């Protein structure tokens, strides 16, 4: 009984290793296919992100007697959301960044998970952000953009 169980476990372990190797091969192949498809469709339209976007932050000095409405950025391109205001006396930040309509907003802490959005008119001018970079379309190579509310 022990030999049969041991043999069965050995067989299963071998098959699991083979499956892992196959999965790695498939993932590698899919990644190469995706990159190849992207590059072939992009053709001569490949540009550096820095040629399209410029950092465009409107810093406002924090005053203790003022309230600063906050905005958060949802992960995976799911847009912006309003957050409660912070009193200037309740923060150690010396400056906040004011939003503007059409700003491309990128969370510096959660950008790795796709926390990026485009500022809509209703949040422009009145919302302030912590640890968030704001970009505008670059001057060197302007772009036409129509971003969906959510990706």
Establish if 148 belongs to a structural domain.
no
Domain count, the chain: 2
Whether residue 111 sits in one domain with residue 96: yes
> What is this structure's pTM?
0.60
Torsion on CA atoms 130, 132, 134, 140, rounded to nearest 10:
140
* pLDDT score at 15: 93
Establish if 151 belongs to a structural domain.
no
Q: Which two tokens stand for residue 68?
A: 């600063």
| Distance, CA of 88 to CA of 128 (rounded, Å) | 12
Tokens 């952000």 locate to 129
Residues 6 or more apart in contact with residue 57 via CB below 8 angstroms: 97, 133, 134
Candidates 91, 92, 95; CA nearest to 57 is 95
Whether residue 73 sits in one domain with residue 94: yes
Q: Are 129 and 99 a contacting pair, CB within 8 Å?
A: yes
Whether residue 66 sits in one domain with residue 29: no
Whether residue 107 sits in one domain with residue 54: yes
Establish if 142 belongs to a structural domain.
no
- Predicted confidence (pLDDT) per residue in 15-30, tens digit: 999 999 999 999 999 9
* pLDDT score at 150: 46
- Predicted confidence (pLDDT) per residue in 37-61, tens digit: 888 887 777 777 777 888 888 889 9
- pLDDT mean by block of 10 residues, the chain; 151 residues: 84 93 92 85 76 86 94 89 93 91 86 85 82 74 49 41
Whether residue 79 sits in one domain with residue 20: no
122 is in which domain, residue-wise?
Answer: 49-137
């Amino acid at each position: 009984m022990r030999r049969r169980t041991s043999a069965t476990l050995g067989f299963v372990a071998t098959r699991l290793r083979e499956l892992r190797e196959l999965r790695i091969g498939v993932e590698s192949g899919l990644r190469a296919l995706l990159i190849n498809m992207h590059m072939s469709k992009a053709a001569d339209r490949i540009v550096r992100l820095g040629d399209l976007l410029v950092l465009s932050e409107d810093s406002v000095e924090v005053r203790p007697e003022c309230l600063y409405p906050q905005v958060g950025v949802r992960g995976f391109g799911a847009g912006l959301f309003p957050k409660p205001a912070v009193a200037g006396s309740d923060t150690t930040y010396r400056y906040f960044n004011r939003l503007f309509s059409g700003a491309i907003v990128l969370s510096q802490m959660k950008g790795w998970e796709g926390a990026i959005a485009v500022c809509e008119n209703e949040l422009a001018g009145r919302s302030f952000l912590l640890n968030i970079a704001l970009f505008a379309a670059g001057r060197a190579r302007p772009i036409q953009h129509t971003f969906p509310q959510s990706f």
